A and B are shown apart, each in its own frame.
Chain A
Amino acid sequence: MRARLNGAPAKATSGLMNMQDTSDADTADDPERALLHRYVQGDAAAARLLTVQLTPRIFGHAFRILGNAAEAEDVTQDALMRLWKIAPDWRDGEAKVTTWLYRVTANLCTDRLRKRGRGVPLEDIAEPADPAESAEARLQRTAREDALQAALDTLPERQRQAVVLRHIDGLANPEIATILDVGVEAVESLTARGKRALAKLLGARRDALGYDDDKT
């Protein structure tokens, strides 16, 4: 079953894109859809709740792909605006709201990566403040986050997107296949190759990142 959705920016410039529906269970388990209905009916609380629920996920994904907070914010804002615009025409039984939004975000990130080319310096990852964390532990955590982000940035964009969606955003392969518009086997291949490359890069820095100090 194929569903047709408006509003997602395409890898090319088309205003329409096809999205594969993953399963009926996919549509049943979509709490954001009810909120989107309330949003369309003018419920201000639904607007706030949807924004608060969706923004961290979309921003986090965009940040991991782009490695830059300002660009990730722009992409998040753009993706959410597209959701608000398409909301009155949203059709039940198609893709999940989050799947649609991840796909829009992935394509916006792809557009940005292609525009700027490779080799843009990474921004330091903003650290959530944790008063209980020692200075040494914080430094080590930051070093590991930077190392992961630097390693992710060396991956081809499709591998990077697949790895981030699977192992950081925690999505299932069929949903990732819908987001990236590829088959499930292609997702498995992308994540496997991406993981191998990351393991090689990070494994070489294992000692420097303090992994011998603990059990990992």
Chain B
Amino acid sequence: MTKRETDTLEAHFEQARATPPQMPAGMMDRLIADALAAQPAPAIGGWRGFWRAIGGAPALGGLITATAVGFWIGVAPPSGLPDVATQIITGGDDYIVADATSLDTYTSDLTAFGWDLDEG
């Protein structure tokens, strides 16, 4: 290449570097929208993260209901189920108690405050 050719070519390159091609109208906005749409959700830590992990208020309502029902079944089981609370307290492995009256004397305070035995 001659110096003249080199200079001409470099002048072309310099102009190309100085004047980049103009982007179509709205292109940048479209690409930013793409970037935001594809972006992972921000990570949330602490109590907010825990709250979100368990599913928020709807999940908490269900959790409270399930806990209350479970607790009630535990302390006052329906007639078809063993009285687990009494077994645990008395250390017995047979839920059929021969002498309910004697049990009543020391388990009434602990098994649903005596309600289950009162009802039985």
Interfacial residues, chain A to chain B (CB-CB below 8 A): 39-44, 47-48, 50-52, 55-56, 59-60, 63-64, 69-70, 72-73, 76-77, 80-81, 84-85, 87-88, 125-128, 141, 144-145, 147-148, 167-168, 170, 195-196, 198-200, 202-203, 206, 211, 216
A144-B15 in contact given A41-B42, A216-B8 (Cβ < 8 Å): yes
Chain B hits for A206, CB < 8 A: 4, 8
State A198–B9 Cα separation when bound (angstroms).
Answer: 7
Rounded to whole Å, the gap between the CB of B42 and the closest CB of chain A is: 3
Would you call B61 an interface residue if the criterion is a C-beta within 8 Å of the partner chain's C-beta atoms? no
Taking CB atoms and an 8 Å cut-off, the chain B residues in 8-35 that contact chain A are 8-13, 15-17, 19-24, 27-28, 30-32, 34-35
List 28 A-B residue pairs with CB atoms under 8 Å apart, sorted by A's residue number: A42-B39, A47-B32, A47-B39, A51-B31, A51-B35, A55-B27, A55-B28, A56-B20, A56-B23, A59-B27, A60-B20, A77-B34, A80-B34, A88-B40, A128-B20, A148-B13, A148-B15, A170-B17, A195-B9, A196-B1, A198-B9, A198-B12, A199-B5, A199-B6, A203-B9, A206-B8, A211-B8, A211-B11
Would you call B98 an interface residue if the criterion is a C-beta within 8 Å of the partner chain's C-beta atoms? no
Q: Are A76 and B31 in contact (CB under 8 A)?
A: yes
Would you call B69 an interface residue if the criterion is a C-beta within 8 Å of the partner chain's C-beta atoms? no
Q: Are A63 and B21 in contact (CB under 8 A)?
A: yes
Q: Are B40 and A202 in contact (CB under 8 A)?
A: no
Minimum CB distance partner of B11 in chain A? A216
Q: Are A141 and B19 in contact (CB under 8 A)?
A: yes
Would you call B43 an interface residue if the criterion is a C-beta within 8 Å of the partner chain's C-beta atoms? yes
Q: Are B22 and A84 in contact (CB under 8 A)?
A: no
Chain B interface main SS type? helix
Q: Are A69 and B21 in contact (CB under 8 A)?
A: yes
Q: Are A39 and B12 in contact (CB under 8 A)?
A: no
Interfacial residues, chain B to chain A (CB-CB below 8 A): 1-2, 4-13, 15-17, 19-24, 27-28, 30-32, 34-36, 38-43
Most chain B CB neighbours (cut-off 10 Å) among A56, A64, A70, A199: A199
Chain A hits for B16, CB < 8 A: 64, 145, 148, 167-168
Rounded to whole Å, the gap between the CB of B7 and the closest CB of chain A is: 6
Chain A hits for B36, CB < 8 A: 44, 47-48
Q: Are B38 and A81 in contact (CB under 8 A)?
A: yes
Contact for B23 among A42, A55, A85, A196, CB less than 8 A: A55
Minimum CB distance partner of B32 in chain A? A51
Rounded to whole Å, the gap between the CB of A177 and the closest CB of chain B is: 20
Beyond A69-B21, A88-B40, A206-B8, 19 additional pairs, beta carbon < 8 A: A39-B35, A48-B36, A51-B28, A51-B35, A56-B20, A59-B21, A63-B21, A73-B23, A80-B35, A126-B21, A144-B15, A168-B16, A170-B17, A195-B1, A199-B1, A199-B8, A203-B4, A211-B8, A216-B11
